[in-house]
């Protein structure tokens, strides 16, 4: 849960007195499995507390499923061009993982982060679609999901494919495989280079974080197996040696539990935040693709307007009876071109603001993640050292006997 205040900067703080200043607090809780087989899904309780006047009341509790979060993400992406829309966690297609306790908790945590990033964003928090998502009953949400047109009528799997296609298209542009009309803007080129480099480095870090989690779990399992074997060995022996083996087995099993807990903490507090930022960068790439499309549309319209202007001048020189029709068409296209230019300029301004906000938030989030990682590793190393150290006197006594 995150409590957010409405401000120009879009920062998130817990208000000292909720009644004295605007606040919006959202939490995603209580995941529950509903249905069976391929129709099974997880529902979540979404709790909103706010004093924003446009909301129905100070507190609202609704039930939402993953596809409702997808609906919100897609609506915002369509309406807020130039804004970096927070990413959603992936939808697991592997049946045995979809409903595991660990996956469900990771999904719940990621959805909580997603909706609170929206609620803390100074523009997105004003979205009518966010208010609908946080307040509408389940029947209304279902109706909205199934009665949208265009991209919103796509299934989540189709949307992911569209997103991947957008990523591929942007990659082709950046790598020079495709040669469309592009901005010759040094700052824009710098932004694209930074985002693609950042994605590569974050993905590499996340891959190794996954390996660290796996290593902790494997070591924990090995210590558990070794502990059982040592205790059985101790049962075969008598006196001091048997007792030493039994204590060695018990320490190994205790350390196994400690390693498994640390592996879970490493997954939730280190690997998942890294994975979340990989998704965030992919979302930014989708916005870059939208900007490239907006620039191309602006250029194409400008070219068409020039041709129409030349044609209009020719018709006026020849006193053609088609002058009126051509003039009307030219004015319409010119207005459309001006609107396209305004849209593009707004997108550029918003992206410039967004990248600053993104970098500031990334610095904070990554600082927390790496601090938690280092603290956890230090804690684990101390636990392991203390456990083995406590056994040394007894083992030394046996070895010198």
Name the region of 325 (left: φ>0; alpha: ψ -120 to 50; beta: rest). Answer: alpha
Superfamily of domain 186-400: Arfaptin homology (AH) domain/BAR domain (1.20.1270.60)
Q: Which residues on neighbouring strands pair with residue 49, listed in sequence order?
A: 25, 59
Residue pLDDT, tens place only, 46-105: 999 999 999 988 999 999 999 999 999 999 999 999 999 999 998 765 555 678 889 999
Superfamily of domain 24-143: Phox-like domain (3.30.1520.10)
Question: How far out from the chain centre does Cα 358 lie?
Answer: 12
Residue pLDDT, tens place only, 37-47: 878 899 999 99
Residue pLDDT, tens place only, 338-376: 999 999 999 999 999 999 999 999 999 999 999 999 999
Query: Does 186-400 match 24-143 at the fold level?
Result: no
pTM across the whole model: 0.81
d(CA 350, CA 357): 11
DSSP string of 64-101?
EEHHHHHHHHHHHHHH-TTS-PPPPPP----HHHHT-H
Half-sphere exposure of 119 (CA within 13 A, CB side): 32
Number of Cβ within 10 Å of residue 230's Cβ equals 21
CA distances from 243 to 165, 222, 238, 254, 394 (A): 63, 21, 7, 16, 9
d(CA 47, CA 64): 10
**Contact present, 249 and 228 (Cβ < 8 Å):** yes
For residue 263 the two structure tokens come to 């592996």
Domain residue extents for the chain: 24-143, 186-400
């Amino acid at each position: 849960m995150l409590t957010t205040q409405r401000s120009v900067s879009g920062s998130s703080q817990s208000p000292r007195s909720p009644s004295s200043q605007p606040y919006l607090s959202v939490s995603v809780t209580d995941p529950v499995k509903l249905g069976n087989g391929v129709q099974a899904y997880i529902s979540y309780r979404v709790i909103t507390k706010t004093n924003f006047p446009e909301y129905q009341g100070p507190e609202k509790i609704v039930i939402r499923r993953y596809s409702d979060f997808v609906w919100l993400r897609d609506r915002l992406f369509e309406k807020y061009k130039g804004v970096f829309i927070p990413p959603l966690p992936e939808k697991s297609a592997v049946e045995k993982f979809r409903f595991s306790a660990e996956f469900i908790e990771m999904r719940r945590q990621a959805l909580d982060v997603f909706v609170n990033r929206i609620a803390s964003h100074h523009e997105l928090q004003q979205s009518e679609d966010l208010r609908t998502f946080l307040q509408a009953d389940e029947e209304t949400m279902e109706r909205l999901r199934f009665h949208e047109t265009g991209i919103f009528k796509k299934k989540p799997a189709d949307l992911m494919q569209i997103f991947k296609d957008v990523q591929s298209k942007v990659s082709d542009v950046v790598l020079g495989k495709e040669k469309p009309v592009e901005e010759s803007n040094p700052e824009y080129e710098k932004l694209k280079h930074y985002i693609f480099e950042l994605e590569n480095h974050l993905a590499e870090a996340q891959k190794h974080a996954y390996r660290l989690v796996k290593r902790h779990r494997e070591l924990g399992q090995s210590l558990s197996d070794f502990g059982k074997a040592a205790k059985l060995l101790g049962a075969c022996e008598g006196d001091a040696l048997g007792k030493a083996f039994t204590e060695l087995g018990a320490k190994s099993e205790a350390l196994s539990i400690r390693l498994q807990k640390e592996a879970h903490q490493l997954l939730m507090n280190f690997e998942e935040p890294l994975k979340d930022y990989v998704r965030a960068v992919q979302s930014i790439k989708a916005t870059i693709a939208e900007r490239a499309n907006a620039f191309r549309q602006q250029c194409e319209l400008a070219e068409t307007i020039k041709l129409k202007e030349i044609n209009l001048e020719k018709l006026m020189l020849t006193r053609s009876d088609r002058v009126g029709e051509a003039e009307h068409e030219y004015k319409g296209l010119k207005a459309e071109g001006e609107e396209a230019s305004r849209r593009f300029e707004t997108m550029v301004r918003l992206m410039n603001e967004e990248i600053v906000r993104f970098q500031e938030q990334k610095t904070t989030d990554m600082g927390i993640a790496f601090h938690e990682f280092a603290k956890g590793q230090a804690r684990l190393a101390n636990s392991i050292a203390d456990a083995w150290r406590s056994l040394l006197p007894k083992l030394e006594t046996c070895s010198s006997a």
